[in-house]
């Protein structure tokens, strides 16, 4: 505390104007420099803010430049060249084999003449079968062929005179010229002669009956046949049926 130089009343040391007499104390110390100190701090804070703002602006400018370079950069449109030799070395794939099941009927007929002979065939197997007649002198090519479904019978008629071998194959998945699954190829060991006789105006010939399945009282012997020795049937002569 101090006394006012004019009225003598006690006043605070930092008081410049006496509240009692209203006179200004010229000898009073200047106000605390706290306000003066705030000014440099505020200036420093403002300077730091300006500096941070400048850095942000610079980073944004750099980012915009990078984005521009990425967008403006031309996209490569190079295309791969196919070597001409690559096209010539491609191996074509074979189409899948189509299997079907013909109805019981004659499927191949290469006869030049018709005769009076008959061959009765019974298929008691669980698989379909194909019976082939060929001349004993030349087993290949096939002269007659009949497709007989399992459990069915068929009679080949009009067989010309001659001596024949009879072969048959059984199995599943018929492709038009052979079976492709569970295949068995066999041949009757004895040949089958067909001879026509004439009695007046009546012509008669031999009639043979065979079964593809073994039977207790059968009198014929069959032997296996290799695939290479089995006559082939042209796929063009077999029409697909359900």
Residues 42 and 157 in one domain: no
| Rounded Cα distance, 76 and 48, in Å | 46
Domain assignment present for residue 141? The answer is: yes
Confidence of residue 47 (pLDDT cuts 50, 70, 90): low
Q: Is 30 exposed, middle or buried (0-12, 13-18, 19+ CB in 10 A)?
A: exposed
How does pLDDT run across 164-173, given as a tens digit for each residue? Answer: 999 999 999 9
Q: How far is CA 203 from the centre of its chain?
A: 63
Asked whether residue 125 is assigned to any structural domain, the reply reads yes
Report the pLDDT averaged over residues 199-219: 90
Name the one residue in this structure whose structure tokens are 């009927």: 105
Is position 11 within any domain? yes
SS3 content of the chain, % helix, strand, coil (to 5): 20, 30, 45
Q: Is residue 87 part of a domain?
A: no
What's the mean pLDDT when you consider all of the chain?
Answer: 79
Residue 57 CB coordination number (10 Å): 10
Residue 55 falls within a domain, yes or no? no
Q: 122 and 25 share a domain?
A: no
170: which 2 tokens? 């059984």
Contact 119, 208 (CB under 8 A): yes
Q: Are residues 127 and 228 in the same domain?
A: yes
Give the end of a domain, one of 29, 49, 69.
Answer: 49
| Domain membership of residue 4 as a residue range | 1-49
| Residues 34, 144 within the same domain | no
Q: Which long-range contacts (CB under 8 A, 24 or more apart) does 66-75 make?
A: none
Q: Is the pTM of this model over 0.85?
A: no
| Claim to verify: residue 38 and residue 126 sit in the same structural domain | no
The answer to whether position 220 is within a domain reads: yes
């Amino acid at each position: 505390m101090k006394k006012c130089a004019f009225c003598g009343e006690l006043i605070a040391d930092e008081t410049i104007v006496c509240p009692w007499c209203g006179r200004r104390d010229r000898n009073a110390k200047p106000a605390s420099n706290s306000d003066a100190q705030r000014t440099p701090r505020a200036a420093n804070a403002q300077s730091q803010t300006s500096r941070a703002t400048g850095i942000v602006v610079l980073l944004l400018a750099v980012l915009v430049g990078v984005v521009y370079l990425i967008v403006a950069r031309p996209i490569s449109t190079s295309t791969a060249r196919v070597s001409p030799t690559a096209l010539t070395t491609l191996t074509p794939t074979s189409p899948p084999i189509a299997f079907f099941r013909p109805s019981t009927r004659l499927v191949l007929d290469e006869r030049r003449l018709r005769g009076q002979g008959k061959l009765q065939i019974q298929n008691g197997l669980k698989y379909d079968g194909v019976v082939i007649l060929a001349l004993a002198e030349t087993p290949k090519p096939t002269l007659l062929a009949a497709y007989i479904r399992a459990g069915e019978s068929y009679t080949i008629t009009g067989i010309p005179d001659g001596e024949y071998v009879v072969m048959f194959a059984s199995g599943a998945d018929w492709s038009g010229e052979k079976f492709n699954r569970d295949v068995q190829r066999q041949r009757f060991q004895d040949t089958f002669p067909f001879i026509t006789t004439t009695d007046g105006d009546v012509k008669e010939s031999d009639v043979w009956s065979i079964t593809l399945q073994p039977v207790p009282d059968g009198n014929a012997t069959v032997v296996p046949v290799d695939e290479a020795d089995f006559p082939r049937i042209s796929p063009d002569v077999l029409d697909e049926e359900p």
